[in-house]
Structure 1
């Protein structure tokens, strides 16, 4: 029992509450730095495209890392009904050094640049069979080979259908006209009400003024009429 107590006291001496708190803060800080500097790849805000059969399309992809890169490996894959087909791959040794991509598809061209963190590709003369998911993948040796990927969806159609917005335009125009007419009607109504009220005020002033004059005349006349005839 004594040895256990001794060991327990020794352990408690090593792991003080303050030390545990500091260790927890250190771990949280490291995790925060790791998440902030983590490698990310992106295919843009709009990660899908409808393209016409036979056209050439850009498959966009960019990478970012707050702590920089070293021997950044990247590739593009196409998901062919569950079978991943590699389109191209390359390594960017360091910031600003252009890669030398290996192209595994005869209709693929690398158009990216490490100066703009761009690893995009062009796909030429697309066909209906080219429709599907394209994956941009990268891993960074400087972040202990942390990796990330993003998907870009390509739809291939024979023609782009133009949506007829005539009905929508008519509805919007009618609604706009109704709203505009309502506003004009309310303005005219307000002006008419103001005009009528102003006319009533003037009429009242005239009536009051006329009444005062008649009253004064009537009073003086009454006084004159009420005077008795002087006695002889």
Structure 2
């Protein structure tokens, strides 16, 4: 028979409730860790580039999983007005194993590695190659958790020249202000120097004139005293 406390609640029932609560918290914590450390795919901080018609462009992509990988499948696709065209695909059995990549486009070259890099090169691009490229990955170790990222390519005749006029103006103005401040400080230092020099000369003149006055006064007094002494 279950014991009952002063409130009438079953002690064993409370214990079971506490166990369920702890178990729920543990499951939530594990799910949170799994979510944070799960598979992530990225095409870099800037997921867009402009390239000149006829050039070769890098389509960057990398994956990361704190849990690790097993039979990680990845592919590159091009979004042709809603139709996804597969460019390449491969499966990585485990970390450190180089993938055997299947290429489905004549101008595509895989340049990734076994360290999470699954980038490709697109050679001799044309204006028709402009658009969105999707990098997709799926990790069997995480119950086929998958993630994807999009990289946008713009094809142009020539790259735009960056107008540095404003930068040149700002640098010129700042340089002029700094130069003016330096000139003012130099002039101020020279003025202070000459003023101090003149002040020292004035002090020397005052001291000299004061000494001369005292000497003349002393000599006159001596002569007067000698003349005033009566002879015996």
**What is the SS of the residue equivalent to 2:70?**
coil
Segments of structure 2 that go 5 or more residues without pairing to the other structure are none
**Partner residue in 2 for 1:118:** 117
Alpha-carbon distance in 1 for matches of 2:22, 2:91: 39
**Partner residue in 1 for 2:76:** 76
What per-residue deviation string (whole Å, max 9, x for no partner) do you get for residues 201-223 of structure 1? 31233133114303422441463
Query: Which stretch of structure 1 is more off in the superposition, 93-102 or 218-227?
Result: 218-227
**Partner residue in 1 for 2:218:** 220
What per-residue deviation string (whole Å, max 9, x for no partner) do you get for residues 2-33 of structure 1? xxx9x9624323123xx577446534542453
Alpha-carbon distance in 1 for matches of 2:76, 2:174: 50
**Partner residue in 2 for 1:131:** 130
Quickly say closer, same or farther: Cα 1:32–1:204, change in 2 above 3 A. Answer: farther
Quickly say closer, same or farther: Cα 1:21–1:47, change in 2 above 3 A. Answer: same
Alpha-carbon distance in 1 for matches of 2:52, 2:94: 37
**What is the SS of the residue equivalent to 2:94?**
coil
Deviation, 1:41, is: 1.5
Deviation, 1:69, is: 0.6
User: Deviation above 6 Å: which 4+ runs of structure 1?
Assistant: none
Alpha-carbon distance in 2 for matches of 1:176, 1:218: 63
Quickly say closer, same or farther: Cα 1:219–1:103, change in 2 above 3 A. Answer: same
**Partner residue in 1 for 2:38:** 38
Quickly say closer, same or farther: Cα 1:170–1:91, change in 2 above 3 A. Answer: closer
TM-score normalised to structure 2 length? 0.80
Quickly say closer, same or farther: Cα 1:219–1:69, change in 2 above 3 A. Answer: same
Quickly say closer, same or farther: Cα 1:138–1:8, change in 2 above 3 A. Answer: farther
Alpha-carbon distance in 2 for matches of 1:203, 1:55: 78
**Partner residue in 2 for 1:101:** 101
Deviation, 1:149, is: 1.3
Alpha-carbon distance in 1 for matches of 2:72, 2:37: 14
Quickly say closer, same or farther: Cα 1:189–1:35, change in 2 above 3 A. Answer: farther
TM-score normalised to structure 1 length? 0.80
Quickly say closer, same or farther: Cα 1:142–1:170, change in 2 above 3 A. Answer: closer
**What is the SS of the residue equivalent to 1:67?**
coil
Alpha-carbon distance in 1 for matches of 2:149, 2:30: 26
Quickly say closer, same or farther: Cα 1:99–1:174, change in 2 above 3 A. Answer: closer
Quickly say closer, same or farther: Cα 1:218–1:34, change in 2 above 3 A. Answer: farther
Quickly say closer, same or farther: Cα 1:226–1:32, change in 2 above 3 A. Answer: farther
What per-residue deviation string (whole Å, max 9, x for no partner) do you get for residues 38-87 of structure 1? 21122123321111112221211111112211010111121222222222
**What number of residue pairs does the alignment pair up?**
223
**Partner residue in 2 for 1:26:** 26
**Partner residue in 2 for 1:154:** 153
Deviation, 1:140, is: 0.8
